[in-house]
């Protein structure tokens, strides 16, 4: 039986904390932050990055090829 390598896109939830004068300024600041996996002991801080804690999305746009 053949084996296939598959890939997809998954949208997940993320959060960050921003101190700013307005919501618009906070969003602008947050858009420049990297996204990182956040777990106990990871060293990530919601004050510096977008934190992803759970893979809570659904696979979309699946493509693949025979291995």
- Domain locations in the chain? 4-66
Choose among 34, 37, 33: nearest CA to 12. 37
User: Which H or E run contains 37?
Assistant: strand 35-37
CB 42 within 8 A of CB 36: yes
Q: What are the residues facing 7 on neighbouring strands?
A: 63
Q: pTM of the full predicted structure?
A: 0.77
> What is the CA angle 7-67-60, rounded to 5?
15
Query: In the structure encoding, which two tokens stand for residue 9, read together?
Result: 């896109």
| pLDDT tens-place string over residues 10-67 | 999 999 999 999 999 999 999 999 999 998 888 999 999 999 998 888 999 999 999 9
């Amino acid at each position: 039986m053949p084996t296939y390598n598959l890939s997809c896109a998954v949208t997940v939830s993320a959060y960050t904390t921003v101190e700013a004068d307005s919501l618009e300024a906070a969003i602008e600041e947050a858009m420049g932050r990297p996204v990182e996996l956040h777990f106990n002991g990871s060293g990530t801080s919601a004050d510096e990055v977008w934190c992803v804690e759970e893979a809570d999305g659904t696979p979309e746009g699946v493509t693949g090829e025979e291995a």
